Structure 1
Amino acid sequence: MSNEEKIGLAPLVVGTSKILVLGSLPGNKTIQANKTSDSEDVQENSVPKYYCSSSNRFWKVVAALQGEKTVPVEYSEKIKLLASVGIALWDVYKRALREDSLDKNIRKGEINNFSELVELLNENPGIHTIVFNGKKASKAFSEKIRYKLLAELKNRPIKFLSLPSTSGANRMKTDVLIQEWLGKLENV
Structure 2
Amino acid sequence: MPPIMRADARLLVLGSLPGEASLKAARYYAHPQNQFWRLLGEALGEPLAALDYAQRVERLLTRRIALWDVIHAARREGSLDQAISEVEERDLRGFVAGLPELRAVAFNGATAAKIGRRALKGTGLELIDLPSSSPAYTLPFAGKAGRWSALKAFLD
TM-score, scaled to structure 2: 0.88
Secondary structure of the 2:153 match is coil
- 1-structure distance, mates of 2:14, 2:99: 15
| Cα 1:63–1:142 shift into 2, 3 Å | closer
**Deviation at 1:132?**
0.6
Partner SS for 1:186: helix
The residue correspondences of 1:139-158 to structure 2 (distance < 5 A) are 139-143=114-118, 145-147=119-121, 150=122, 153=123, 157-158=124-125
**SS of equivalent residue, structure 1 residue 71:** helix
Shift of 1:70: 5.8
1:95-154, Cα deviation, whole Å (9 max, x unpaired): 111111001111111101x2xx344323321111111100011112334x234xx3xx5x
Which stretches in structure 1 are left out of the alignment for 5+ residues? 1-8, 35-48
Task: Indicate whether 1:163 and 2:141 are aligned.
Answer: no
Structure 2 unaligned regions, length at least 5 = none
**What is the CA–CA distance in structure 1 between the aligned matches of 2:136 and 2:13, rounded to whole Å?**
18
**Structure 1-normalised TM-score?**
0.74
**Residue 174 (1) aligns with residue 141 (2):** yes
Partner Cα separation in structure 2 for residue 69 and residue 99 of structure 1 = 32
1:134 aligns with 2:109: yes
1:179–1:85 Cα change, 3 Å: farther
Greater than 4 Å deviation, 4+ residue runs: none
More helix, by proportion: 2
Alignment correspondent of 1:32:
24
Does the residue aligned with 2:50 lie in a helix, a strand or coil?
A: coil
Partner of 2:152: 186
Letter aligned with residue 101 of structure 2: G
Pairing 1:47-126 to 2, within 5 Å after superposition: 49-69=27-47, 71-112=49-90, 114=91, 117-126=92-101
Greater C-alpha Rg:
1
Distance, in Å, in 1 between the alignment partners of 2:61 and 2:50 is 14
- Counterpart pick for 2:9 among 17, 34, 55: 17
Size of the aligned set, in residue pairs, is 154
Q: CA RMSD in A?
A: 1.8
